[in-house]
Structure 1
């Protein structure tokens, strides 16, 4: 549904943003005195995590600060089930903190705090009456990416042309599952225009900023989740990933992001904004969180509840718990750097440090040599073609119907083919790509088997978070979507202008802009990858590796 043609896209956006601001209770507005000497906005460069504004604001009580800062999602779920914390107090605490995060970094789209609190009260009453929780997520607040549908709530996915659509009359399959498992849903989070950028910016809701440095991007396309969780306005959120959309915000904002194998978490009835049915490469849903334990908790909880009963495309593959035993030695492949996508100095330093520490701890590290027949760049190019497997060009039509311009980050990437070089993917072309994809997956199978690898260690991206509108392609995440391999990103080390002083030569679409001074202190990360349907092994190995790197 298009907005009234008499309205400009700016009018529609302004109206929506006023509605979003009005949804925050007045008691949760940060006092002006707290922000008096703290410039906000994309040019300020402030680290609002370090500034500890949630505490200084006075909006959260001491107990609410403890709830939002001390526990991970797994611990909160246990306390809620035992009645040690009420769902109402936990939901109120995270609602307040999410509202604060929104005022600092613009990470939210739809908020429904009153509805969430009513749900929390119901769950508290249920626990009191029945002496047991309604499910393993009983009373736990969970945030959702904007593209998930909730009955009674709008889904606009950032399009001006969707802004006046009515609230939905149904839930996404995963939303039904989360509610049946006892979760409390309270906010939806921002995304890039058309999902086609690692910069979370659209005309309807505006730009999401990185809490660690407001002058850097928050990643995308699940950037609202990344920013919200970095500020602990949530400790467990659900994103989606078709090219790195869970992992890119995680590495940009310094949190955990896990991309499962497709079909393990239900994906049905989600708003995609594209014509489906053409691409062989499928998206997936997965957790963003503050702790690796929570990624495993989320995956096991959902999979144990038979997702195939909610979604016909979900696989009947049970969760097979793999113990992450302290002292277990792994065989870890080390992914080589693609010369077309060179690593920035802090990323290379973090990866080298990780390799050295793991060797010192007794793990076997095997360099996987660069293979010109199966490169990261080749995988990236194929994914770009798969993204164009929509003969209706639905994303571009959605933008045109709203009369809105393409935002700079999407325009720079030319993902929508607006420069005139769009080539519709033919049936023969699709078949050829599918054959090539199968050959690449087979090549990786041989590597895994011949080297007896447990997992692969590599970068999540060639860069840390970069300045706004400066992300290039993100091939180090995208390649694993092409293969449908599970992958997890977690933070390790930080960028340093002293240790990483020399910027690399910048090539648009190949490099992400490198600015050692601006990126000083930005989180670095590593990515752990396993073979398809070895999600459990991926997370178990990540636990072992993270323990070594923390030591």
Structure 2
């Protein structure tokens, strides 16, 4: 049967979205349903983390979901905990989170429990785990196809279809390469999360401070991780869409270089754009879990199935181990405190100072990071990412007649998509990107003349964004994030502290670099941001994920020691 584009002419998009929400709710077991008054209380609260959500869970669910991946693996390998117990606990917690926040587009608890039972059968028969992620529940941004579940990417017009088409035979019967890899490793997908702002579930707020956005566009997955609804999550990133939500929700993340994690058979916008491709990133509550996930994925040799994955196995030799290094060859860090275009808000400045002092007290070397102007990426990124005029996004919206959400209205003209860039102009921009990468590489290598070891700086540390959260319509500068995609560098986000309205006050002597700098600082409101997580990112050279992860752990350990000495949180 030929595939046909599906126009839902008989129903309004609002009705289709409502039916989708009802279908999701019906998948939650009756004894996991929470009272409407609790949902109402949650919406009125500033914060959902900590005591509030923990109080909605039974002790056994709390006990299991408080464990991170390495501990859960150990427990299951000893036979002291089953996959069914682990998956049940996380499904229950995810169900509660969804009712409080509306952050699951696809609920797959029944499929997950069937999978967990098979894993337990395997363990009983063979007395070993099926793989390094045996029984570990995960959630993913709703771009990854899983058999038995839809993939809508939060487009109303994609509901009931395969990427907007009916009659393909792939509806609910197709899997992305990454899902196949996770299945072979023993991991158990339990559901999928939405775009931060969408017409099906609405807007997703940070559970630490519900005045603030969860960040985009993988905000649904970041909320899931912040509230411990799965052991780890997978988001997608083309301009900070993993790093930013991780920062705003107080979790760890890895955004790799393109070609380390498979994106084969993944629904995406602009799928033909491979100059600066969307990548899959990992989100979780520790560096150890990020490392475990990436190392496990690479053990499947994904390049054998996906020609766009670099044939690069996990490299233990690339990891940094402090105990193996003499004092004179300790790490050297670059520190980008601002990009000379937009100054970070006071809490971000404080987080950078904390990390700087922590590393200095631990004996590491820090240099000011003065690379080619970060603002150059602002001129490159939108033309590469959206040079096609976003025609595919426009067509997807037209399937149902739903409006574009506020965050993407600037992408279109009043009655249609923008004209695509002419090919020669697009190629000129690609050349500009190549030249920018070359200049950045030359600068990085030149730092060998400044370090004590005579080696170039190992990684550099920078803000994730200029803000420690996002007030709606108050986001003015993405260059700290999207420059990483333009350069194709791997980056690890680590939480540092929380906004404190008593400490994080505006500087009356502030002098802006640019007009946008002043606009951004004028938008800072210490009381509105109070309680929001604050993070930094650790950035390494292209395809150096193993080293960046190991160095990020060094930073976390130095930061924890600093906090213990100075009694900071």
Judge same fold: TM > 0.5, yes or no.
Answer: yes
CA distance in 1, matches of 2:378, 2:518: 11
Q: Residue 41 of structure 2: which of 39, 42, 60 is its match? A: 39
1:376 paired residue number: 374
Q: How many angstroms does 1:363 deviate by?
A: 0.9
Q: Is the 8 A contact 1:347 1:462 kept in 2?
A: yes
Q: Is the 8 A contact 2:106 2:192 kept in 1?
A: yes
Q: Deviations over 1:206-255 (max 9, x none)?
A: 22221111221111211111101111111211111111111111001000
2:552 paired residue number: 542
CA distance in 2, matches of 1:184, 1:48: 26
1:496 paired residue number: 500
1:194 paired residue number: none
Q: Residue 161 of structure 2: which of 165, 169, 173 is its match? A: 165
Q: Is the 8 A contact 2:337 2:352 kept in 1?
A: no
1:323-338 equivalence runs, <5 A: 323-325=320-322, 329-338=330-339
SS of the residue corresponding to residue 456 of structure 1 reads strand
SS of the residue corresponding to residue 52 of structure 1 reads helix
Q: Is the 8 A contact 1:45 1:215 kept in 2?
A: no
TM value normalised by structure 2: 0.88
Q: Deviations over 1:4-29 (max 9, x none)?
A: 22322211211111222222112111
CA distance in 2, matches of 1:486, 1:388: 22
Q: Check 1:5–1:511 CA distance in 2 against 1; reply closer, same or farther (3 A cut).
A: farther
Q: Deviations over 1:94-139 (max 9, x none)?
A: 0000011111122111001111111100110011012222111111
> Are 1:187 and 2:191 counterparts?
yes
Report which stretch shifted further, 320-329 or 300-309: 320-329
Q: How many angstroms does 1:489 deviate by?
A: 0.5
Q: Check 1:273–1:540 CA distance in 2 against 1; reply closer, same or farther (3 A cut).
A: same
Q: How many angstroms does 1:341 deviate by?
A: 2.3
1:123-134 equivalence runs, <5 A: 123-134=119-130
2:462 paired residue number: 458
Q: Is the 8 A contact 1:141 1:183 kept in 2?
A: yes
Aligned residue pairs total 529
> Are 1:366 and 2:367 counterparts?
yes
Q: How many angstroms does 1:360 deviate by?
A: 2.3
Q: Residue 433 of structure 2: which of 437, 441, 444 is its match? A: 437
2:63 paired residue number: 66
1:264-279 equivalence runs, <5 A: 264-274=260-270, 276-279=271-274
2:539 paired residue number: 529
TM value normalised by structure 1: 0.91
CA distance in 2, matches of 1:231, 1:10: 29
> Are 1:415 and 2:414 counterparts?
no
Q: RMSD of aligned C-alpha atoms?
A: 2.3
2:565 paired residue number: none
Q: Check 1:515–1:272 CA distance in 2 against 1; reply closer, same or farther (3 A cut).
A: same
Q: Check 1:122–1:380 CA distance in 2 against 1; reply closer, same or farther (3 A cut).
A: same
Q: Deviations over 1:453-498 (max 9, x none)?
A: 1001111111011223433342211111111100010100111111
Q: Is the 8 A contact 1:491 1:524 kept in 2?
A: yes
1:306 paired residue number: 301
**Which consecutive unaligned segments of at least 5 residues does structure 2 have?**
163-170, 448-455, 562-569
SS of the residue corresponding to residue 91 of structure 1 reads helix
Report which stretch shifted further, 295-304 or 509-518: 509-518
CA distance in 2, matches of 1:324, 1:418: 55
**Which consecutive unaligned segments of at least 5 residues does structure 1 have?**
192-199
CA distance in 1, matches of 2:519, 2:123: 54
- As a proportion of its length, which structure holds more helix? 2
Q: Is the 8 A contact 1:3 1:163 kept in 2?
A: no
SS of the residue corresponding to residue 188 of structure 1 reads strand
> Are 1:511 and 2:509 counterparts?
no
2:386 paired residue number: 388
Q: Is the 8 A contact 2:389 2:411 kept in 1?
A: no
> Are 1:91 and 2:100 counterparts?
no
2:421 paired residue number: 425
CA distance in 2, matches of 1:300, 1:63: 30
SS of the residue corresponding to residue 100 of structure 1 reads helix
CA distance in 2, matches of 1:77, 1:212: 28
Q: Is the 8 A contact 2:369 2:460 kept in 1?
A: no
Q: Check 1:278–1:211 CA distance in 2 against 1; reply closer, same or farther (3 A cut).
A: closer
Q: How many angstroms does 1:45 deviate by?
A: 4.9
